[in-house]
Amino acid sequence: MPTLWEYIFGALFFSFCIIGMYRAEKRGEQKMKTIPACNGIPEGIQRSVEMGRPVLFEFGSIALNLYSQYIGPALGILNEVAKESARLGAHLITISFDPPSTAIMEEIVKNNYILYGRTMEEMDNRYVAGTDRGFTVATLAILEREKPGAHFLMGTTSYDAVIVCQAAADIGAFQVAGAIQTFQLPVMSVICDYVLIGEEFAVAGSVFSNKLGQLGTIVGHDWAKAVLVGLLILGAILAQFGLKIVMS
Amino acid sequence: MSFVRSFIPKIVLSAIIVITILSYFLGIVPLSNGVSIVNQYVIIMIAFSLPLGVINLVGRNIKNIQNKRQDWLLDIAMLVSLTVMTVLGIFFGVTNTIYLWLYNNVNIPVGAMVMALTGLYIASAAYRSFRVRNLEGSLLLVSAIIIMLWNAPIGAALFPPILPIGNWFNNYPLTTGNRVIFIGFALGVISLCVRYIFFRENITGEST
Protein backbone atom coordinates (compact mmCIF):
# COMPACT_ATOMS: atom_id res chain seq x y z
CA MET A 1 0.00 0.00 0.00
CA PRO A 2 1.22 3.56 -0.64
CA THR A 3 2.39 5.67 2.30
CA LEU A 4 0.43 8.60 3.73
CA TRP A 5 2.75 11.05 1.94
CA GLU A 6 2.10 9.35 -1.37
CA TYR A 7 -1.66 9.84 -0.86
CA ILE A 8 -1.16 13.49 0.07
CA PHE A 9 1.20 14.37 -2.77
CA GLY A 10 -0.70 12.27 -5.31
CA ALA A 11 -3.94 14.09 -4.45
CA LEU A 12 -2.17 17.46 -4.33
CA PHE A 13 -0.45 17.13 -7.73
CA PHE A 14 -3.57 15.82 -9.47
CA SER A 15 -5.59 18.65 -7.90
CA PHE A 16 -3.08 21.25 -9.12
CA CYS A 17 -3.39 20.01 -12.71
CA ILE A 18 -7.21 19.91 -12.55
CA ILE A 19 -7.42 23.39 -10.99
CA GLY A 20 -4.93 24.76 -13.54
CA MET A 21 -6.98 23.25 -16.39
CA TYR A 22 -10.33 24.73 -15.29
CA ARG A 23 -8.71 28.04 -14.31
CA ALA A 24 -7.25 28.48 -17.79
CA GLU A 25 -10.55 27.59 -19.45
CA LYS A 26 -12.46 29.98 -17.19
CA ARG A 27 -10.06 32.86 -17.78
CA GLY A 28 -10.04 32.28 -21.52
CA GLU A 29 -6.31 32.80 -21.88
CA GLN A 30 -3.08 31.15 -20.80
CA LYS A 31 0.36 32.55 -21.46
CA MET A 32 3.05 30.00 -22.09
CA LYS A 33 6.82 30.20 -22.40
CA THR A 34 8.10 29.27 -25.83
CA ILE A 35 10.01 26.02 -26.05
CA PRO A 36 12.71 26.46 -28.75
CA ALA A 37 12.50 22.79 -29.79
CA CYS A 38 8.77 23.22 -30.47
CA ASN A 39 9.58 25.96 -32.97
CA GLY A 40 12.21 23.69 -34.46
CA ILE A 41 9.67 21.10 -35.62
CA PRO A 42 7.83 23.28 -38.20
CA GLU A 43 11.19 24.77 -39.17
CA GLY A 44 12.57 21.31 -39.96
CA ILE A 45 9.53 20.35 -42.03
CA GLN A 46 9.61 23.63 -44.00
CA ARG A 47 13.29 23.08 -44.68
CA SER A 48 12.63 19.55 -45.95
CA VAL A 49 9.88 20.79 -48.28
CA GLU A 50 12.17 23.49 -49.67
CA MET A 51 14.92 20.93 -50.26
CA GLY A 52 12.49 18.40 -51.77
CA ARG A 53 13.48 15.80 -49.21
CA PRO A 54 11.24 13.61 -47.00
CA VAL A 55 10.64 13.98 -43.26
CA LEU A 56 11.42 11.01 -40.99
CA PHE A 57 9.65 10.42 -37.68
CA GLU A 58 10.34 7.56 -35.25
CA PHE A 59 9.75 6.58 -31.64
CA GLY A 60 13.12 4.82 -31.39
CA SER A 61 13.66 1.14 -30.78
CA ILE A 62 11.13 0.73 -28.01
CA ALA A 63 8.05 -1.42 -27.63
CA LEU A 64 4.78 0.34 -26.94
CA ASN A 65 3.67 -2.13 -24.27
CA LEU A 66 6.88 -1.71 -22.26
CA TYR A 67 7.35 2.06 -22.51
CA SER A 68 3.89 3.47 -23.12
CA GLN A 69 4.61 6.29 -20.65
CA TYR A 70 7.30 7.52 -23.06
CA ILE A 71 5.29 7.03 -26.24
CA GLY A 72 2.15 8.76 -24.86
CA PRO A 73 3.71 12.25 -24.88
CA ALA A 74 5.33 11.54 -28.26
CA LEU A 75 1.89 11.07 -29.86
CA GLY A 76 1.13 14.77 -29.45
CA ILE A 77 4.41 15.59 -31.20
CA LEU A 78 3.65 13.14 -34.02
CA ASN A 79 0.27 14.85 -34.40
CA GLU A 80 2.02 18.18 -34.93
CA VAL A 81 4.59 16.69 -37.33
CA ALA A 82 1.79 15.00 -39.32
CA LYS A 83 -0.28 18.19 -39.35
CA GLU A 84 2.59 20.37 -40.57
CA SER A 85 3.67 17.76 -43.13
CA ALA A 86 0.11 17.45 -44.43
CA ARG A 87 -0.31 21.24 -44.57
CA LEU A 88 2.99 21.87 -46.34
CA GLY A 89 2.79 18.86 -48.64
CA ALA A 90 5.85 17.13 -47.20
CA HIS A 91 6.54 13.43 -47.70
CA LEU A 92 6.32 12.10 -44.14
CA ILE A 93 7.90 8.72 -43.44
CA THR A 94 7.05 7.19 -40.07
CA ILE A 95 8.86 4.07 -38.95
CA SER A 96 7.99 1.92 -36.00
CA PHE A 97 9.52 -0.79 -33.90
CA ASP A 98 6.37 -2.75 -33.14
CA PRO A 99 3.05 -3.29 -34.96
CA PRO A 100 0.84 -1.49 -32.38
CA SER A 101 2.94 1.67 -32.86
CA THR A 102 2.50 1.28 -36.62
CA ALA A 103 -1.28 1.22 -36.19
CA ILE A 104 -1.26 4.29 -33.93
CA MET A 105 1.03 6.22 -36.27
CA GLU A 106 -1.18 5.34 -39.24
CA GLU A 107 -4.27 6.59 -37.43
CA ILE A 108 -2.69 9.92 -36.47
CA VAL A 109 -1.16 10.54 -39.90
CA LYS A 110 -4.36 9.50 -41.69
CA ASN A 111 -6.55 11.87 -39.68
CA ASN A 112 -4.26 14.80 -40.42
CA TYR A 113 -3.97 13.88 -44.11
CA ILE A 114 -7.79 13.75 -44.37
CA LEU A 115 -7.99 17.14 -42.70
CA TYR A 116 -5.67 18.74 -45.26
CA GLY A 117 -7.01 16.93 -48.31
CA ARG A 118 -4.05 14.64 -48.85
CA THR A 119 -4.69 11.18 -50.32
CA MET A 120 -4.15 7.92 -48.47
CA GLU A 121 -1.70 6.81 -51.19
CA GLU A 122 0.65 9.55 -49.98
CA MET A 123 0.91 8.00 -46.53
CA ASP A 124 4.19 6.25 -45.82
CA ASN A 125 3.98 4.40 -42.50
CA ARG A 126 6.47 1.59 -42.23
CA TYR A 127 6.87 -1.26 -39.81
CA VAL A 128 10.54 -2.10 -40.21
CA ALA A 129 11.71 -4.54 -37.58
CA GLY A 130 10.93 -6.02 -34.20
CA THR A 131 14.47 -6.06 -32.84
CA ASP A 132 16.60 -3.09 -31.86
CA ARG A 133 19.41 -4.12 -34.24
CA GLY A 134 17.09 -4.64 -37.19
CA PHE A 135 15.39 -1.35 -36.46
CA THR A 136 18.72 0.49 -36.29
CA VAL A 137 19.88 -0.93 -39.61
CA ALA A 138 16.53 -0.16 -41.27
CA THR A 139 16.67 3.43 -40.02
CA LEU A 140 20.25 3.78 -41.28
CA ALA A 141 19.16 2.45 -44.67
CA ILE A 142 16.32 4.98 -44.90
CA LEU A 143 18.66 7.79 -43.89
CA GLU A 144 21.28 6.78 -46.46
CA ARG A 145 18.95 6.01 -49.38
CA GLU A 146 16.17 8.56 -48.99
CA LYS A 147 18.16 11.31 -47.27
CA PRO A 148 15.42 12.95 -45.20
CA GLY A 149 15.70 16.69 -44.70
CA ALA A 150 14.42 16.44 -41.13
CA HIS A 151 14.65 13.65 -38.59
CA PHE A 152 12.48 13.53 -35.47
CA LEU A 153 13.41 10.95 -32.84
CA MET A 154 10.77 11.08 -30.11
CA GLY A 155 10.62 8.53 -27.37
CA THR A 156 13.31 6.63 -25.65
CA THR A 157 16.06 4.68 -27.23
CA SER A 158 19.00 2.49 -26.35
CA TYR A 159 22.43 2.53 -27.99
CA ASP A 160 20.88 3.16 -31.40
CA ALA A 161 20.36 6.87 -30.60
CA VAL A 162 24.08 7.47 -31.18
CA ILE A 163 24.13 5.60 -34.49
CA VAL A 164 20.92 7.04 -35.89
CA CYS A 165 21.43 10.65 -34.80
CA GLN A 166 25.03 10.71 -36.02
CA ALA A 167 24.07 9.15 -39.37
CA ALA A 168 21.28 11.74 -39.77
CA ALA A 169 23.74 14.53 -38.94
CA ASP A 170 26.16 13.16 -41.56
CA ILE A 171 23.53 13.53 -44.30
CA GLY A 172 22.73 17.04 -43.11
CA ALA A 173 19.27 16.34 -41.71
CA PHE A 174 17.71 18.86 -39.36
CA GLN A 175 17.13 16.99 -36.11
CA VAL A 176 14.84 17.37 -33.14
CA ALA A 177 15.01 14.67 -30.49
CA GLY A 178 13.04 14.09 -27.33
CA ALA A 179 14.15 11.73 -24.62
CA ILE A 180 13.69 10.78 -21.02
CA GLN A 181 16.58 8.41 -20.56
CA THR A 182 19.36 10.63 -19.34
CA PHE A 183 22.19 8.51 -20.71
CA GLN A 184 21.15 9.42 -24.27
CA LEU A 185 20.72 13.12 -23.60
CA PRO A 186 24.41 14.15 -23.86
CA VAL A 187 24.69 12.49 -27.25
CA MET A 188 21.44 14.01 -28.50
CA SER A 189 22.37 17.42 -27.14
CA VAL A 190 25.58 17.59 -29.12
CA ILE A 191 24.32 15.97 -32.32
CA CYS A 192 20.75 17.24 -32.71
CA ASP A 193 19.65 20.79 -33.48
CA TYR A 194 17.06 20.80 -30.69
CA VAL A 195 16.33 18.43 -27.82
CA LEU A 196 13.18 18.14 -25.73
CA ILE A 197 14.40 17.17 -22.28
CA GLY A 198 12.30 15.55 -19.55
CA GLU A 199 9.18 17.60 -18.85
CA GLU A 200 9.51 19.56 -22.13
CA PHE A 201 8.97 16.26 -23.88
CA ALA A 202 5.92 15.49 -21.73
CA VAL A 203 4.25 18.85 -22.42
CA ALA A 204 5.29 19.55 -26.02
CA GLY A 205 2.08 18.04 -27.44
CA SER A 206 -0.02 20.43 -25.34
CA VAL A 207 2.08 23.43 -26.34
CA PHE A 208 1.47 22.57 -30.00
CA SER A 209 -2.28 22.13 -29.47
CA ASN A 210 -2.50 25.62 -27.90
CA LYS A 211 -5.75 24.60 -26.21
CA LEU A 212 -6.50 26.30 -22.92
CA GLY A 213 -7.38 23.12 -21.03
CA GLN A 214 -4.14 21.47 -22.06
CA LEU A 215 -2.02 24.53 -21.30
CA GLY A 216 -3.70 24.87 -17.91
CA THR A 217 -2.50 21.43 -16.83
CA ILE A 218 1.05 22.58 -17.52
CA VAL A 219 0.51 25.46 -15.12
CA GLY A 220 -0.70 22.97 -12.49
CA HIS A 221 2.40 20.92 -13.18
CA ASP A 222 4.52 24.05 -12.51
CA TRP A 223 2.76 24.60 -9.18
CA ALA A 224 3.63 21.00 -8.24
CA LYS A 225 7.23 21.73 -9.14
CA ALA A 226 7.20 24.85 -6.96
CA VAL A 227 5.94 22.76 -4.02
CA LEU A 228 8.71 20.22 -4.57
CA VAL A 229 11.40 22.92 -4.77
CA GLY A 230 10.03 24.49 -1.57
CA LEU A 231 10.18 21.12 0.18
CA LEU A 232 13.70 20.61 -1.09
CA ILE A 233 14.87 23.93 0.37
CA LEU A 234 13.00 23.28 3.62
CA GLY A 235 14.51 19.81 3.87
CA ALA A 236 18.02 21.16 3.26
CA ILE A 237 17.58 23.82 5.98
CA LEU A 238 16.07 21.39 8.50
CA ALA A 239 18.78 18.83 7.78
CA GLN A 240 21.35 21.38 8.97
CA PHE A 241 19.67 21.24 12.40
CA GLY A 242 19.55 17.46 12.43
CA LEU A 243 15.82 17.28 11.57
CA LYS A 244 15.26 14.75 8.81
CA ILE A 245 11.46 14.87 8.72
CA VAL A 246 11.28 16.10 5.10
CA MET A 247 14.01 13.73 3.94
CA SER A 248 12.24 10.74 5.47
CA MET B 1 -14.33 12.11 -37.67
CA SER B 2 -17.06 9.77 -36.48
CA PHE B 3 -18.22 9.58 -32.88
CA VAL B 4 -16.99 5.99 -32.54
CA ARG B 5 -13.49 6.80 -33.78
CA SER B 6 -13.04 10.00 -31.84
CA PHE B 7 -14.95 9.62 -28.59
CA ILE B 8 -14.96 5.90 -27.71
CA PRO B 9 -11.13 5.63 -27.50
CA LYS B 10 -11.08 8.61 -25.14
CA ILE B 11 -13.70 7.02 -22.84
CA VAL B 12 -11.84 3.69 -22.79
CA LEU B 13 -8.48 5.37 -22.08
CA SER B 14 -9.94 7.60 -19.38
CA ALA B 15 -11.63 4.64 -17.66
CA ILE B 16 -8.45 2.56 -17.73
CA ILE B 17 -6.36 5.37 -16.23
CA VAL B 18 -8.91 5.98 -13.46
CA ILE B 19 -9.13 2.26 -12.62
CA THR B 20 -5.32 1.92 -12.57
CA ILE B 21 -4.85 4.94 -10.30
CA LEU B 22 -7.63 3.85 -7.93
CA SER B 23 -6.31 0.30 -7.77
CA TYR B 24 -2.87 1.63 -6.77
CA PHE B 25 -4.07 4.11 -4.16
CA LEU B 26 -7.06 2.24 -2.72
CA GLY B 27 -5.84 -1.34 -3.05
CA ILE B 28 -9.38 -2.69 -3.75
CA VAL B 29 -9.08 -6.28 -4.97
CA PRO B 30 -11.72 -6.16 -7.77
CA LEU B 31 -10.00 -3.06 -9.21
CA SER B 32 -6.57 -4.73 -9.06
CA ASN B 33 -8.05 -7.76 -10.82
CA GLY B 34 -9.48 -5.42 -13.45
CA VAL B 35 -6.04 -3.92 -14.05
CA SER B 36 -4.54 -7.42 -14.41
CA ILE B 37 -7.21 -8.31 -16.97
CA VAL B 38 -6.52 -5.12 -18.94
CA ASN B 39 -2.79 -5.97 -18.94
CA GLN B 40 -3.59 -9.44 -20.30
CA TYR B 41 -5.76 -7.89 -23.01
CA VAL B 42 -2.84 -5.66 -24.00
CA ILE B 43 -0.56 -8.69 -24.42
CA ILE B 44 -3.22 -10.48 -26.50
CA MET B 45 -3.84 -7.41 -28.66
CA ILE B 46 -0.14 -6.97 -29.30
CA ALA B 47 0.13 -10.63 -30.35
CA PHE B 48 -2.80 -10.11 -32.73
CA SER B 49 -1.24 -6.97 -34.16
CA LEU B 50 1.89 -8.83 -35.33
CA PRO B 51 0.28 -9.89 -38.64
CA LEU B 52 -0.54 -6.21 -39.20
CA GLY B 53 3.18 -5.39 -39.08
CA VAL B 54 4.05 -8.33 -41.32
CA ILE B 55 1.39 -7.32 -43.87
CA ASN B 56 2.77 -3.75 -43.87
CA LEU B 57 6.34 -5.02 -44.33
CA VAL B 58 5.56 -7.59 -47.04
CA GLY B 59 3.21 -5.27 -48.94
CA ARG B 60 5.78 -2.48 -49.07
CA ASN B 61 8.59 -4.80 -50.17
CA ILE B 62 6.47 -6.39 -52.90
CA LYS B 63 5.57 -2.92 -54.19
CA ASN B 64 9.27 -1.97 -54.24
CA ILE B 65 10.11 -5.12 -56.21
CA GLN B 66 7.24 -4.57 -58.68
CA ASN B 67 8.36 -0.99 -59.33
CA LYS B 68 12.05 -2.00 -59.34
CA ARG B 69 12.89 0.78 -56.93
CA GLN B 70 16.41 1.44 -55.64
CA ASP B 71 18.01 -1.67 -54.04
CA TRP B 72 14.99 -3.85 -54.87
CA LEU B 73 17.22 -6.96 -54.72
CA LEU B 74 17.57 -6.34 -50.98
CA ASP B 75 13.79 -6.42 -50.71
CA ILE B 76 13.84 -9.91 -52.27
CA ALA B 77 16.47 -10.97 -49.73
CA MET B 78 14.27 -9.63 -46.93
CA LEU B 79 11.20 -11.50 -48.17
CA VAL B 80 13.15 -14.76 -48.59
CA SER B 81 14.65 -14.44 -45.08
CA LEU B 82 11.24 -13.69 -43.58
CA THR B 83 9.63 -16.65 -45.35
CA VAL B 84 12.40 -19.14 -44.52
CA MET B 85 12.54 -18.24 -40.81
CA THR B 86 8.74 -18.17 -40.49
CA VAL B 87 8.27 -21.55 -42.22
CA LEU B 88 11.09 -23.17 -40.23
CA GLY B 89 9.85 -21.72 -36.94
CA ILE B 90 6.19 -22.62 -37.42
CA PHE B 91 6.50 -26.06 -39.03
CA PHE B 92 9.73 -27.41 -37.50
CA GLY B 93 9.98 -25.51 -34.22
CA VAL B 94 12.54 -23.05 -32.91
CA THR B 95 14.83 -25.88 -31.79
CA ASN B 96 15.14 -27.17 -35.36
CA THR B 97 18.80 -27.57 -36.47
CA ILE B 98 18.55 -25.34 -39.56
CA TYR B 99 16.63 -22.67 -37.66
CA LEU B 100 19.22 -22.68 -34.86
CA TRP B 101 22.10 -22.67 -37.35
CA LEU B 102 20.66 -19.64 -39.15
CA TYR B 103 19.96 -17.88 -35.87
CA ASN B 104 23.38 -18.54 -34.33
CA ASN B 105 25.46 -18.02 -37.47
CA VAL B 106 23.60 -15.24 -39.25
CA ASN B 107 21.39 -13.33 -36.84
CA ILE B 108 23.75 -13.13 -33.86
CA PRO B 109 26.92 -12.09 -35.78
CA VAL B 110 24.97 -9.51 -37.80
CA GLY B 111 23.46 -8.17 -34.59
CA ALA B 112 26.90 -7.97 -32.98
CA MET B 113 28.12 -6.05 -36.03
CA VAL B 114 25.37 -3.48 -35.57
CA MET B 115 26.27 -3.09 -31.90
CA ALA B 116 29.90 -2.61 -32.92
CA LEU B 117 28.86 0.27 -35.17
CA THR B 118 28.17 2.23 -32.00
CA GLY B 119 31.92 2.47 -31.41
CA LEU B 120 32.50 4.12 -34.77
CA TYR B 121 29.63 6.53 -34.40
CA ILE B 122 30.63 7.39 -30.82
CA ALA B 123 34.07 8.42 -32.12
CA SER B 124 32.40 10.68 -34.66
CA ALA B 125 29.97 12.07 -32.06
CA ALA B 126 32.81 12.61 -29.59
CA TYR B 127 34.71 14.70 -32.13
CA ARG B 128 31.58 16.80 -32.64
CA SER B 129 30.91 17.19 -28.91
CA PHE B 130 34.41 17.78 -27.61
CA ARG B 131 35.16 20.81 -29.77
CA VAL B 132 35.60 23.78 -27.47
CA ARG B 133 33.42 26.40 -29.13
CA ASN B 134 31.66 27.96 -26.16
CA LEU B 135 31.32 27.74 -22.38
CA GLU B 136 28.92 24.77 -22.52
CA GLY B 137 31.30 22.89 -24.84
CA SER B 138 34.20 23.55 -22.48
CA LEU B 139 32.23 22.31 -19.46
CA LEU B 140 31.25 19.18 -21.37
CA LEU B 141 34.86 18.55 -22.32
CA VAL B 142 36.14 18.98 -18.75
CA SER B 143 33.39 16.73 -17.33
CA ALA B 144 34.03 14.08 -19.97
CA ILE B 145 37.78 14.05 -19.27
CA ILE B 146 37.19 13.71 -15.52
CA ILE B 147 34.67 10.88 -15.92
CA MET B 148 36.85 9.05 -18.47
CA LEU B 149 39.92 9.26 -16.24
CA TRP B 150 37.83 8.22 -13.22
CA ASN B 151 36.56 5.13 -15.03
CA ALA B 152 39.84 4.10 -16.69
CA PRO B 153 42.35 2.31 -14.42
CA ILE B 154 45.16 4.44 -15.84
CA GLY B 155 43.40 7.60 -14.59
CA ALA B 156 43.94 6.80 -10.91
CA ALA B 157 47.50 5.62 -11.60
CA LEU B 158 48.38 8.88 -13.37
CA PHE B 159 46.48 11.23 -11.10
CA PRO B 160 45.24 9.69 -7.79
CA PRO B 161 43.02 12.68 -6.74
CA ILE B 162 40.81 11.85 -9.75
CA LEU B 163 39.03 9.18 -7.65
CA PRO B 164 37.45 11.54 -5.06
CA ILE B 165 36.78 14.13 -7.79
CA GLY B 166 35.08 11.51 -9.99
CA ASN B 167 33.07 10.20 -7.02
CA TRP B 168 31.88 13.71 -6.23
CA PHE B 169 30.88 14.23 -9.86
CA ASN B 170 28.99 10.96 -9.91
CA ASN B 171 27.26 11.43 -6.55
CA TYR B 172 26.24 15.08 -6.76
CA PRO B 173 25.99 16.82 -10.19
CA LEU B 174 25.13 13.63 -12.10
CA THR B 175 22.57 12.28 -9.61
CA THR B 176 21.01 15.71 -9.16
CA GLY B 177 20.65 16.24 -12.91
CA ASN B 178 19.13 12.78 -13.40
CA ARG B 179 16.61 13.25 -10.60
CA VAL B 180 15.57 16.68 -11.84
CA ILE B 181 14.81 15.27 -15.27
CA PHE B 182 12.94 12.25 -13.95
CA ILE B 183 10.88 14.23 -11.42
CA GLY B 184 10.02 16.81 -14.08
CA PHE B 185 8.93 14.07 -16.47
CA ALA B 186 6.91 12.31 -13.75
CA LEU B 187 5.01 15.54 -13.08
CA GLY B 188 4.53 15.93 -16.84
CA VAL B 189 3.01 12.43 -16.98
CA ILE B 190 0.61 13.37 -14.15
CA SER B 191 -0.57 16.37 -16.18
CA LEU B 192 -0.86 14.10 -19.25
CA CYS B 193 -3.02 11.66 -17.26
CA VAL B 194 -5.27 14.52 -16.15
CA ARG B 195 -5.69 15.58 -19.79
CA TYR B 196 -6.54 12.00 -20.79
CA ILE B 197 -9.01 11.58 -17.92
CA PHE B 198 -10.84 14.82 -18.71
CA PHE B 199 -10.82 14.26 -22.50
CA ARG B 200 -8.54 17.26 -23.12
CA GLU B 201 -5.86 15.36 -25.07
CA ASN B 202 -6.17 14.40 -28.73
CA ILE B 203 -5.29 10.74 -28.90
CA THR B 204 -6.31 9.92 -32.43
CA GLY B 205 -4.68 12.86 -34.13
CA GLU B 206 -7.65 15.07 -34.88
CA SER B 207 -6.33 18.56 -35.35
CA THR B 208 -9.48 20.60 -35.09
CA distances from B108 to A12, A194, B90 (A): 50, 35, 20
**pLDDT bucket at A139, cuts 50 / 70 / 90:** very high
| Main-chain phi, psi angles of A104, to 5 degrees | -65, -45
Q: Look at residues A248, A246, A215 and name the one whose alpha carbon lies nearest to residue A228.
A: A246
Closest CA to A73 of A208, A188, A175: A208
Banded pLDDT at B1 (limits 50, 70, 90): low
- The continuous run of DSSP H or E covering B105 comes out as none
Q: How far apart are CA B51 and CA B56, in angstroms?
A: 8
Query: Is pLDDT of A241 > 90?
Result: no
Given a cut of 90, whether residue B66 has pLDDT beyond it is: yes
Question: Cα distance from A175 to chain B (closest Cα, Å)?
Answer: 14
Of A102, A180, A187, the residue nearest B181 (C-alpha): A180
Please report the residues numbered 26 through 65 in chain B whose beta carbons come closer than 8 angstroms to any beta carbon of chain A: 27, 42-43, 45-46, 49-54, 56-57, 60
Bigger pLDDT: A93 or A179? Answer: A93
Cβ contact A99–B56 (<8 Å): yes
CB–CB contact A182 B178 (8 Å):
yes
- pLDDT-based confidence at A242, cuts 50/70/90? confident
How confident is the model over A44-72, as a mean pLDDT? 87
Lowest-pLDDT range of A50-64, B87-101, B128-142: B128-142
- DSSP letter at A120? G
Model confidence at B39, pLDDT cuts 50, 70, 90, reads: confident
Mean pLDDT of B148-159: 89
Strand partners, A154: A178
The answer to whether residue A158 neighbours chain B at the CB level (below 8 Å) is no
The one-letter amino acid code at B2 reads S
What's residue B174's pLDDT? Answer: 86
Of A3-7, A180-184, B20-24, least confident by mean pLDDT is A180-184
Helix (H, G, I), strand (E, B) or coil at B65: helix
What gap in Å lies between CA B68 and CA B56, rounded to an integer?
18
Average pLDDT over residues A72-86: 91
Residue B49 near residue B61, CB atoms below 8 Å: no
State residue A73's pLDDT score.
Answer: 84
CB count within 10 Å of CB A116 equals 15
Taking CB atoms and an 8 Å cutoff, what residues of chain A touch B70? 145
Give the rounded percent of residues in chain A with a pLDDT score beyond 70.
99
Contact A70, A157 (CB under 8 A): no
Q: What pLDDT is attached to residue B205?
A: 65
- From chain B, pick out residues whose CB is under 8 angstroms from the CB of A99: 46, 49-54, 56
B194 touches chain A (CB under 8 A): yes
**Minimal CA separation from A242 to chain B, in Å:** 20
Rg (CA), chain A: 20
DSSP string, B80-102: HHHHHHHHIIIII-TT-HHHHHH
* Nearest chain A Cα distance for residue B141, angstroms: 11
Q: What is residue B208's predicted lDDT score, i.e. its pLDDT?
A: 44
Over residues B151-155, mean pLDDT: 89
- Whether the ipTM is more than 0.90: the answer is no
- Name residues 30-49 of chain A within 8 A of B (Cβ): none
The Cα of B155 is separated from the nearest Cα of chain A by a number of Å equal to: 22
Model confidence, pTM:
0.90
